[in-house]
Structure 1
Amino acid sequence: MRRSVVTGVGVVAPGGGSREEFWARIVDGKPAIRRVSTFDPTAYRSQIAAECDFDPARYGLTPQEIRRMDRFVQMAIASADEAVADSGLELGRVDTDRLGVCLGSAVGATITLEDEYVVASNHGRDWVTDHRHTMPFLYQSLVPSSAATELAVRYGAHGPAALVSTGCTSGIDSIGHAHSLIQDGEADIVIAGASDAPISPITVACFDAIRATSPRNDEPDQASRPFDAGRQGFVLGEGSAILVIEELEHALARGARVYCEVAGYAARANGFHMTGLRPDGFELGEAIMEAMDRARLNPDDLGYISAHGSGTKQNDRHETAAYKRALGEAARQVPISSIKSVIGHSLGAIGSIEMAACALVVSRGVIPPTANLTTPDPDCDLDYTPLVAREAEVDHALSAGSGFGGFQSAMVFSKPSEVS
């Protein structure tokens, strides 16, 4: 069977505009959360977010590209450029018919669409809008797959190209799709990951309406508290992570440095509730067990779990139940942590950012902590790595994710024996 490995990692995240800045931030466990700065959030229940200090010109984007692309596309380009450079790929020597792209996003060009609607509708006062007042690239913003097209054109990729949008599991699922393309022989290299820039009035208002986000506005650095008894909801974030996923023999033939192997992936849907979760964690547990089975691992083989860990009471208890269901007694032995405590929840992007963290954990042997976990919820009684990072040899890392609509996904990254 064809095997896929990670040969490049690129990240744009709150508190860090590169892979190394991101890694230093999550290992330090220092939250990058503040009052929303891109618009006046005074009218909203939750007025805080994990924002990226992102200047597209710093990453070499031209004024024309900046004008054409929504922020989520700009961040995808920046992280993809870093990943491709990190991989050592010489694109001029790559068979571009075997080079693919798979990008995940939950909400696409939210910022551009909202901004343009405000202009076209005269701040919502006009029911009938005039298209002559909108930007000429509005169609590209309306169609999220335009982001995958931008990446494919940038790197001359003539292989499979796709946009995966499965809510908050989009980032895991996009890498899972890339893994499948390589297994099936459709591509030798896939530039894969996810990007989202959802920090806008409409997004904040939507999560306010269901009281999903934290109202801890006076203490933003303490607001994201996964698995803590004092948690009040998640903190909205933004960002992007792109991985170069490559067929193992192809990577070895060109002497590539390998971070880890994509050892197992599985997804389930619960059909239970649009935003609710079954308390027994059944479907997430099933996805974890299937991913472990495909990786040919026993529960006690795991060295780390990157939790979904959003910081809502419902999710954290659901996730804890899923780990116990899938792993049995081994669930109490494996270190688990949530980097959302540091960089917030960037919706569709967070799964790929967490997979980037897993690749770095496997290759570097350090487990990032869960920030702000000072008083554990008694119902979340596993080892959630409070406050301080740990050094540990990690041969196999699991990441799990849940998304609105009932999406449940899990993925395992492992050290491949051939290159360890």
Structure 2
Amino acid sequence: MSRRVVLTGIGVRAPGGAGTGEFWDLLTSGRSATRRISFFDPAPFRSQIAGECDFDPAAEGLSAREIRRMDRAAQLAVVCARSAVAASGLAVDRLDPYRIGVVLGSAVAAATSLDNEYVVMSDSGRAREVDPDYLSPHMFDHMTPGIMPAEVAWTVGAEGPVTMISNGCTSGLDAVGHAAQLIREGAADVMVTGATDAPITPIVVASFDAIRATTPRNDDPEHASRPFDATRNGFVLAEGSAMFVLEERAHALARGAHVYAELSGYATRSNAYHMTGLKPDGREMAAAITAALDDGRHDPTDVHYVNAHGSATKQNDRHETAAFKRALGEHAYRTPVSSIKSMVGHSLGAVGAIELAACALAIEHQVVPPTANLHERDPECDLDYVPLTAREQRVDTVLSVGSGFGGFQSAVVLTRTGGDR
């Protein structure tokens, strides 16, 4: 029998909150933290809004050297990792470092630094060829995504498996799922895992503009992200990070750790169909959901809440709705579903981890966060999407799903601990 994996520490930096507590307060209030982009002048762009973090790395304890060396996404991950370890109460310096690992997810890695460096080296785009005389001494770090989990590993003293996963928008779910598998198979006892992305840069904004994936609802940033609403017209780009401490269950219980949830199931599938397109029947996401439930030995009727990918694009929301019906059957109509992207935006690879943090806190507090800005129901999206207001109810088993460019479809199941399955 494989070893069981529990979540004992959470660290979050997301739009609208300075930490895990403020993040949860935002979600349960149903408020949105999306706003007009302030990092640069967004006027030339079709979509001019985003979910920005009010993040001061110096105030978070990073040194001047760390701030200069690390991209913003890495800074977010390191700060969240420190928070997660502190929240877990784990004395990592007393553990065998070879039994501690790190798996980090990110879709666009050091996008902020690469964009900034291009501007400098090309003289703000005026030079056709970049000038290497202006090359940053840290450019190698920015070009090598594996540096980011290494930064986390150095921070927490992990000398076991250290891995970077970049599967687009499922990166966060896949990183946590892979970390859990390493504990299950005995490769580690403790994993620090999660995801990070800081993609609010001109080049990323322009890229999503080009495929019209982001919303142009610039006159009302707070209400622009409208998952499952009939008036939805694209997602709101965002940044953020969430990191977790995962432990083998017996290891956690032996030290008297507070356990938020058990990670009981994980699966991922690919549609092998299209880089950005989705089949309307949701077959591949349904397959991932079914496999994740089977992995955790759950029946579909065990699910009390579904945390949806809910990107607020027309095709995604229809695709997910079909997938839930296919995987959960009639139980889909009785199961609350919500998308927190309505409040914190879509932080690409990071958002899966941020959503898992919301799922763990939903289990902890027995509250389902709402889907903000859902006023006009889409007839094709006919499930219970918990509009506008958080809901107190039994939340013992939570399903969280993600869908990523490239055809990735992933699912994670979190379960309230207590007793053997």
Q: Which amino acid aligns with 2:197?
A: D
How far off its partner does 1:175 sit? 0.2
TM-score (norm 1): 0.99
How far off its partner does 1:130 sit? 2.2
Q: Following the alignment from structure 2 to structure 1, what is the Cα–Cα distance between the partners of residues 93 and 160? A: 15
1:39 aligns to 2:40 (yes or no): yes
What residue number does 1:235 align with? 236
Deviations 1:352-406 (A, max 9, x none): 0000111111111011000000011100000000000000121100000000000
Equivalent residues of 1:6, 1:244 under 8 A apart: yes
What residue number does 1:215 align with? 216
What residue number does 2:363 align with? 362
Q: Which amino acid aligns with 2:36?
A: R
1:84-103 to 2 correspondences below 5 Å = 84-103=85-104
Q: Following the alignment from structure 1 to structure 2, what is the Cα–Cα distance between the partners of residues 269 and 9? A: 29
Q: Which amino acid aligns with 1:130?
A: D
What residue number does 2:300 align with? 299
Q: Secondary structure at the match of 2:287?
A: helix
What residue number does 1:175 align with? 176
Equivalent residues of 2:191, 2:245 under 8 A apart: yes
What residue number does 1:371 align with? 372
How far off its partner does 1:417 sit? 1.9
How far off its partner does 1:317 sit? 0.1
Q: For structure 2, which runs of at least 5 residues remain unmatched after alignment?
A: none
Q: Secondary structure at the match of 2:58?
A: helix
Deviations 1:207-228 (A, max 9, x none): 0011110101000011000000
Q: Following the alignment from structure 2 to structure 1, what is the Cα–Cα distance between the partners of residues 159 and 419? A: 30
Q: Following the alignment from structure 2 to structure 1, what is the Cα–Cα distance between the partners of residues 175 and 322? A: 26
1:76 aligns to 2:42 (yes or no): no
What residue number does 2:323 align with? 322
What residue number does 1:206 align with? 207
Q: Following the alignment from structure 2 to structure 1, what is the Cα–Cα distance between the partners of residues 17 and 91? A: 26
**CA separation of 1:113/1:121 partners in 2, compared to 1, >3 Å: closer, same or farther?**
same
How far off its partner does 1:419 sit? 9.4
Count of equivalent residues: 420
Q: Following the alignment from structure 1 to structure 2, what is the Cα–Cα distance between the partners of residues 94 and 363? A: 27
How far off its partner does 1:92 sit? 1.7
1:56-75 to 2 correspondences below 5 Å = 56-75=57-76
Deviations 1:308-338 (A, max 9, x none): 0000000000000000000100000011100
Q: Following the alignment from structure 1 to structure 2, what is the Cα–Cα distance between the partners of residues 142 and 214? A: 29
Q: Which amino acid aligns with 2:66?
A: E
1:147 aligns to 2:148 (yes or no): yes
What residue number does 2:14 align with? 13
Q: Which amino acid aligns with 2:74?
A: V
What residue number does 1:49 align with? 50
What residue number does 2:413 align with? 412
Q: Secondary structure at the match of 2:250?
A: helix
1:120-139 to 2 correspondences below 5 Å = 120-139=121-140
What residue number does 1:160 align with? 161
Equivalent residues of 1:176, 1:265 under 8 A apart: yes
What residue number does 2:349 align with? 348
Q: Which amino acid aligns with 2:253?
A: L
Q: Secondary structure at the match of 1:57?
A: coil
Q: For structure 1, which runs of at least 5 residues remain unmatched after alignment?
A: none
Q: Which amino acid aligns with 1:380?
A: C
CA-based RMSD of the aligned residues comes to 1.0
How far off its partner does 1:126 sit? 2.3
Q: Secondary structure at the match of 1:185?
A: coil
Equivalent residues of 2:81, 2:156 under 8 A apart: no
Deviations 1:262-317 (A, max 9, x none): 00000000011100000000000000000011111111111111000000000000
Tell which deviates more after alignment, 163-172 or 119-128: 119-128
Q: Following the alignment from structure 1 to structure 2, what is the Cα–Cα distance between the partners of residues 59 and 153? A: 17
Equivalent residues of 1:258, 1:419 under 8 A apart: no
Q: Which amino acid aligns with 1:43?
A: P
Q: Following the alignment from structure 2 to structure 1, what is the Cα–Cα distance between the partners of residues 383 and 139? A: 47
What residue number does 1:386 align with? 387
Q: Which amino acid aligns with 1:93?
A: R
